[in-house]
Amino acid sequence: MDALFAPPAETWRPISPRWKSLRRLTTVIGVPVLFTIPAVLVGVLAQLWWVAALLWAVALVIVAIRVVLIGRTYRSWGYALRTDDLYITHGLFFRSLVAVPYGRMQAVEVNSGPLERAFGLATVQLITASPASNASIVGLAPEEAAQLRDQLTNLGESQASGL
Amino acid sequence: MSSSSTAPVGQQQLDPATPLPKKTERPHPLTPLIRGWVVLVAIVLTVGRQLIPDGSENTGLPPVRWIILGVVGVCALAALAGLFTWWFTRFVIDDEELRIETGAIFRSSKRIAFERIQTVDLIQPLAARIFGLAELRIDVGSGDNQTKLRYLSRADATRLRDYLVARAHGEQADANKASSASLLTDSSATDRVIATVAPQRLVGAFLTSTEFLMSLLFLIGIYAVTGIFGVALYALPAVIPYAIGLISLLGRHVLAQFNYTLAESGKGLRVTRGLTNLTSQSIPIDRVQGLRIIQPILWRTFGWFRIDVDVLGIKTSHGEKDSGGSTSILQPVASRDQVRAVLALVLPGVDLDRLTLHPSPRRSAWLRLFDFWTLRYGWDDDVVISQRGWLIRTREVVPHEKTQSVRIEQGPLQRRLRLTNVHIDTTPGPVDLVAKQIDALVARELATSQLDRAREAGRRAAERRSRMASARPDHLAGPAEPAILARFGIGRQDLLGAGNEARVFALPDQTHVLRIFPVRDCNDRAQAEEARLDGLLKGFEHRPVGLELPLIVERGHLDGQDFRIDRRIRGTDLSAVLRATPSTVSRRELLLTYLDAAYVLRHLPVPTPQWARLIAEPRVFGSLADLLMDQIHRATMNWDLLSAQVGDLEQPLGELKAALDQRRCAPALVHADFCPPNVYGVEGRVIGVGDFSAHAVVADPLMDIAGAIAFIELESYPDAAADARWLVGMAAERLGDAEARWLEVYRRFYGFYYSMDPTLIDWCAAQIRSTGPAVG
């Protein structure tokens, strides 16, 4: 990991490894389903089965790439709590690093969709006054997510700054 | 708060000799007509379309005269309804508030206290202007609906606007002082005009602006190309959206900015503009989150700039068609000097020219061939800047303390070139500060140092605010103070303390204190409040509770200022004692007696056994929830600042009300301002409680305990937060968990209620956001 996305302290805190399983599942099932619908439509309505085959091939390629890269994608996620800010990094090709001061956090939400719940995962989302902040951490264990939320709320209260 | 009552407003019937308070006025008679003209036009259009003969349809329309009769009938009904509403609508200017009363059967009265008013805007929609009328929009800053007063004659509207603004600033105002507002402009007597834009310059600037020219070229290009191929006609439907876009550009940049005037007024800037809808829009300076300065390439020869501003709380669209929406354009066309003047106001002390701007490295040419050489970024102690573009040169400025978050984004191509983008996020608006394509290592440093700068700037801003707040007590010292002090044989050195309302001096006999109030309206209302407080305190004498309580001994008046002699409570205020007690054990012993004192106040006698507000506008309520929600709604003047930190206020408010509805307890006295500065201690125990004020109510006595604990967090000694958490635990032990959970509910009440003091906003936000008892 290069210097630009190096952790502010010793190391990034990782997300739960179960996220990899979730990601594998959504990729292997989700992507083909997504491509099957137009493929079938094109094939049935326009009888262009070669286009449908092409679409399925594309889907297969995407699935393959994602599954192969799942390990690295998982490792690219990380967060770190410093004295005054929270850092979140993610992304393999399009990397991103967000730093949010605790005082700017308006609310901290912990959400868990049905699939996430099945894998025992939750997403923590920080809400600031700017919607572009987009500071959210996926794939956390629920206890960790709740603990993080409480920690952030306390830090946010004690450091609240006006707008 | 009820939704906006669009009450039509009346014609002034007063002559200048009438005294100030209690003016009752009626709407202008033409109001229903103006409000209805849109409806009328719509009806006519709809019916008219039906009437146009269309050969292919067989509509079986009734004969024409029935239709006309129908239209006339509907219009008559509408007019009658409008007349009815008009008859029963009035607005009243009272001592402390503006009241709008509407409704014949279901009377409703909307009250706006003067000090809650944030901005008053004057709008002249097209229809109203024809008749010489105008609309006033009053913003009380609680986030949602503005109150609209429709329609006043122009002169009355400006007069009322000036009066409301002056009262909102706490000044005495003369409602009959004339100020000018003409058909095309609007200015208040106190405004100082900074910049205007002549119509020729506006139009010329628009015609040479890059946006307009590009759109025009695009349209012409499409037509040329399609003309060559002979398919011009088919291109028409595709081109229509662009044409519409062009027209709306014209509307936004020329029609809406016609006769633009920028003035400095009171709390900020006022922008007056508009050809069809004349709008007067106020921009409070401390709500500005960022600026964008734009210069299209052709404007460089003239030296013109445009300034867009990112303002907290400017809604991007109002509901109605004929309302002048507020835009984010601060100056549509400005010369360099005018830009400097505006920047001096909005960003005081910042000199943009002296900033060193760093360019992006040459390799960014691979990714941004068209303008890589124009990319710049830079910062100084106050702001961070980014610059880009040559067709439209854009420069974005964000003060450090308005930084919400910092983001570093890097795509795969950027990674090969070791470049990255750094975003400084602010609230939604035209300003999007991105330092594009900068070197990766520099970016990391920029991002991390930006956070430090943001924190530093936020701390400085908070210091400035508290300095301004603490500077107030000296401002309270009125001109008669020396005379009053002389009468009692004491001097300024005997000052014991200064609060928000009075300066307190010790009298020589050591058993009384002298309280001098600032210059204020000596009106009946204040006298009545004093009398009620006096009665309440005298009532306390009948039932000793083991605490020393205040008592008003004498009230007086000298040279325009009121003063009062109170019985002095022994000891030192707890704030000072806590600061001077480093030992945690002794402090916590003291705090236990503090909690005991809060518990004991409920035994004091009160004038009424029902839920009631006692001192200011005394009123009895049917339930605890009604009383407390009414208290909250009298304290909404700073809710825009509050919701900036907390987000949505309606939901916590709703939850608070629902929780209060569940509370079952007996009404008793609540001090409601039970905090260490108001409590007195001697030798490690609390022995007295003072400063009963207009906050006192008959409510749930648990509120004082909740307040006692919550207000500890405002103390400035190092272990205050820890002591507060410990007190929560102690209270839970004593009261039991069932009762103790109500302490959290009341904590939130105080968060909303004390937002009336802008220096406490941060603490208030923390109270509202608190999730549960942190037992420590």
Residue of A nearest to B758 (CA): A162
Query: What count of Cα atoms within 13 Å lies in the side-chain half-sphere of residue B629?
Result: 18
Q: Which residues of B touch A8 (CB under 8 A)?
A: 448
Reported confidence tier of residue B338, pLDDT bands at 50, 70, 90 = confident
Q: Which residue has the higher pLDDT, B775 or B129?
A: B129
Reported confidence tier of residue B140, pLDDT bands at 50, 70, 90 = low
Reported confidence tier of residue B321, pLDDT bands at 50, 70, 90 = very low
> Is the distance from CB of A16 to CB of A112 less than 8 angstroms?
no
* Cβ neighbours of A83 (radius 10 Å): 8
B423–A132 CB contact, under 8 Å: yes
A27-85: per-residue pLDDT in tens?
988 888 888 888 888 888 878 788 888 888 999 999 999 888 998 999 999 999 888 88
3-state class of B358 per DSSP?
Answer: strand
What DSSP character marks residue B776?
-
Tell me the backbone φ, ψ of residue B498, rounded to 5 degrees.
-135, 125
Q: List residues bridging with B562 in a β-sheet.
A: B557
Q: Which residues of B touch A131 (CB under 8 A)?
A: 428
Q: What are the Cα distances from residue B324, in Å, to B278, B319, B623, B725?
A: 7, 10, 42, 50
Beta carbons within 8 Å of B371's beta carbon, 6+ residues apart: B388, B389, B390, B391
B-facing residues of A in 9-68 (CB < 8 A) are none
Q: Report the pLDDT averaged over residues B541-555.
A: 88
Residue of B nearest to A101 (CA): B405
Residue of B nearest to A1 (CA): B415
The torsion angle over the Cα atoms of residues B14, B156, B24 and B695, rounded to 10 degrees, is: -130
Q: Report the pLDDT averaged over residues B450-471.
A: 78
What whole-number distance in Å separates Cα of residue B324 and Cα of residue B281? Answer: 9
Q: Which residues of A touch B426 (CB under 8 A)?
A: 129-130
Confidence (pLDDT) at B398: 92
Reported confidence tier of residue B61, pLDDT bands at 50, 70, 90 = low
Reported confidence tier of residue B38, pLDDT bands at 50, 70, 90 = low
Confidence (pLDDT) at A123: 92
Q: Does A101 touch chain B (CB under 8 A)?
A: yes
Q: Which residues of A touch B466 (CB under 8 A)?
A: none
Q: Which residue has the higher pLDDT, A157 or B604?
A: B604
The yes-or-no verdict on residue B752 having pLDDT over 90 is: yes
Q: Report the pLDDT averaged over residues B294-298.
A: 90
Q: Which residues of B touch A154 (CB under 8 A)?
A: 774
Flag the least confident range among B49-58, B446-455, B498-507.
Answer: B49-58
Choose among B604, B184, B459: nearest CA to A160. B459
B407–A132 CB contact, under 8 Å: yes
Q: Does A135 touch chain B (CB under 8 A)?
A: yes
Confidence (pLDDT) at A98: 92
What whole-number distance in Å separates Cα of residue A52 and Cα of residue B705? Answer: 72
Q: Which residues of B touch A85 (CB under 8 A)?
A: 451
Angle CA(B6)–CA(B10)–CA(B12) in degrees, nearest 5? 150
* % chain A with pLDDT above 90: 28
A161–B762 CB contact, under 8 Å: yes
The yes-or-no verdict on residue B290 having pLDDT over 70 is: yes
B411–A156 CB contact, under 8 Å: no
A100–B408 CB contact, under 8 Å: no
What whole-number distance in Å separates Cα of residue B335 and Cα of residue B332? Answer: 10
The yes-or-no verdict on residue B190 having pLDDT over 60 is: no
* Cβ neighbours of B276 (radius 10 Å): 15
* % chain A with pLDDT above 70: 95
The yes-or-no verdict on residue B144 having pLDDT over 60 is: no
Confidence (pLDDT) at A134: 76
Q: Report the pLDDT averaged over residues B418-426.
A: 91
Residue of A nearest to B460 (CA): A161
B408–A107 CB contact, under 8 Å: no
Q: Does B415 touch chain A (CB under 8 A)?
A: yes
Residue of B nearest to A7 (CA): B444
CA A48, A49, A50, A51 torsion-angle sign: positive
The yes-or-no verdict on residue B11 having pLDDT over 50 is: no
Q: What are the Cα distances from residue B69, in Å, to B65, B72, B277?
A: 6, 5, 34
Choose among B292, B442, B403: nearest CA to A132. B403
Q: Which residues of B touch A101 (CB under 8 A)?
A: 403, 405, 451, 454-455
Q: Which two tokens stand for residue B320?
A: 């109605």
Choose among B347, B456, B441, B616: nearest CA to A2. B441
B444–A3 CB contact, under 8 Å: yes
* Cβ neighbours of B311 (radius 10 Å): 23
Residue of A nearest to B465 (CA): A162
Confidence (pLDDT) at B141: 56
Q: Which two tokens stand for residue B82?
A: 């409008």
3-state class of A65 per DSSP?
Answer: helix
Q: Does B428 touch chain A (CB under 8 A)?
A: yes
3-state class of B721 per DSSP?
Answer: helix
B443–A4 CB contact, under 8 Å: yes
Q: Report the pLDDT averaged over residues B388-408.
A: 90
B451–A4 CB contact, under 8 Å: no
Q: List residues bridging with A108 in a β-sheet.
A: A126
Confidence (pLDDT) at B101: 79
Q: Which residue has the higher pLDDT, B68 or B206?
A: B206
Q: Which residues of B touch A96 (CB under 8 A)?
A: 407-410
Confidence (pLDDT) at B683: 84
Q: Which two tokens stand for residue B742?
A: 């109500």
Confidence (pLDDT) at B327: 67
- Which residue from B408, B425, B771 is facing A153, i.e. has the nearest CB? B771
What whole-number distance in Å separates Cα of residue B40 and Cα of residue B49? Answer: 14
What whole-number distance in Å separates Cα of residue B312 and Cα of residue A66? Answer: 42
Looking at residue B356, its amino acid is: T
B769–A163 CB contact, under 8 Å: no
- Mean pLDDT, rounded, of chain B: 79
> Is the distance from CB of B405 to CB of B265 less than 8 angstroms?
no
A-facing residues of B in 6-35 (CB < 8 A) are none
> Is the distance from CB of B729 to CB of B609 less than 8 angstroms?
no
What whole-number distance in Å separates Cα of residue B311 and Cα of residue B301? Answer: 30
B404–A94 CB contact, under 8 Å: no
Q: Report the pLDDT averaged over residues A142-148.
A: 90
Q: Which of A1, A2, A4 to mutate: most B Cβ within 10 Å?
A: A4
What DSSP character marks residue B307?
E
Confidence (pLDDT) at B369: 87
Q: Does A123 touch chain B (CB under 8 A)?
A: no
Q: Which residue has the higher pLDDT, B191 or B593?
A: B593
Q: Report the pLDDT averaged over residues A95-114.
A: 87
The yes-or-no verdict on residue B608 having pLDDT over 50 is: yes
Reported confidence tier of residue B746, pLDDT bands at 50, 70, 90 = very high
The yes-or-no verdict on residue B473 having pLDDT over 80 is: no
The yes-or-no verdict on residue B433 having pLDDT over 60 is: yes
Q: Does B646 touch chain A (CB under 8 A)?
A: yes
Q: Which residues of B touch A88 (CB under 8 A)?
A: none
B235-249: per-residue pLDDT in tens?
777 778 888 888 888
Residue of B nearest to A98 (CA): B407
B686-728: per-residue pLDDT in tens?
999 988 888 999 999 999 999 999 999 888 888 888 888 899 9
What whole-number distance in Å separates Cα of residue B618 and Cα of residue B625? Answer: 16
The yes-or-no verdict on residue B175 having pLDDT over 80 is: no
Confidence (pLDDT) at B711: 92
Q: Report the pLDDT averaged over residues B288-316.
A: 82
Reported confidence tier of residue B315, pLDDT bands at 50, 70, 90 = very low
Confidence (pLDDT) at B320: 28
3-state class of B716 per DSSP?
Answer: coil
The yes-or-no verdict on residue B575 having pLDDT over 90 is: no
3-state class of A71 per DSSP?
Answer: helix
The yes-or-no verdict on residue B592 having pLDDT over 60 is: yes
What whole-number distance in Å separates Cα of residue B578 and Cα of residue B575? Answer: 5
- Mean pLDDT, rounded, of chain A: 86
What DSSP character marks residue B548?
B
The yes-or-no verdict on residue B370 having pLDDT over 70 is: yes
CA B729, B735, B737, B738 torsion-angle sign: negative
Confidence (pLDDT) at B16: 35
Q: Which residue has the higher pLDDT, B540 or B284?
A: B540
Confidence (pLDDT) at B59: 53
Confidence (pLDDT) at B168: 67
